[in-house]
């Protein structure tokens, strides 16, 4: 893995952890951020899934949550690993 790929992976994992922290604060807000919502002005705001249709962010957030990740700095879990 080259430096650019490592940087992309790092940023992606940071994003997953941020969405997990959003979920802890407000599950509804995190879900709306992912799927889209109508703002206070009545305008539809596209969510992450619409803006990035090939992204696996929602699935990765769900998987990390199920593995016990709660968004702590640097936390990334693999299935089958002991924490």
Mean pLDDT of the chain: 96
Residue 81 has a pLDDT of 76
**What gap in Å lies between CA 28 and CA 74, rounded to an integer?**
25
Give yes or no for residue 57 having a pLDDT over 80. yes
Give yes or no for residue 83 having a pLDDT over 70. no
**What gap in Å lies between CA 46 and CA 53, rounded to an integer?**
11
1: pLDDT confidence band, cut at 50, 70 and 90?
A: confident
Written as six digits, the tokens of 35 are: 């799927």
**What gap in Å lies between CA 61 and CA 71, rounded to an integer?**
10
Give which of 57, 82, 45, 55 is closest to 67, Cα–Cα.
82
């Amino acid at each position: 893995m080259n430096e650019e790929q490592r940087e992309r992976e790092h940023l992606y994992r940071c994003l997953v952890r941020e969405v997990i922290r959003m979920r802890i604060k407000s599950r509804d807000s995190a879900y709306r951020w992912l799927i889209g919502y109508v703002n206070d002005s009545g305008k539809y705001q596209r969510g992450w899934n619409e803006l990035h249709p090939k992204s696996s962010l929602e699935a990765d957030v769900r998987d990390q949550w199920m593995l016990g990740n709660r968004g702590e700095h640097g936390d990334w879990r693999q299935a089958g690993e002991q924490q």
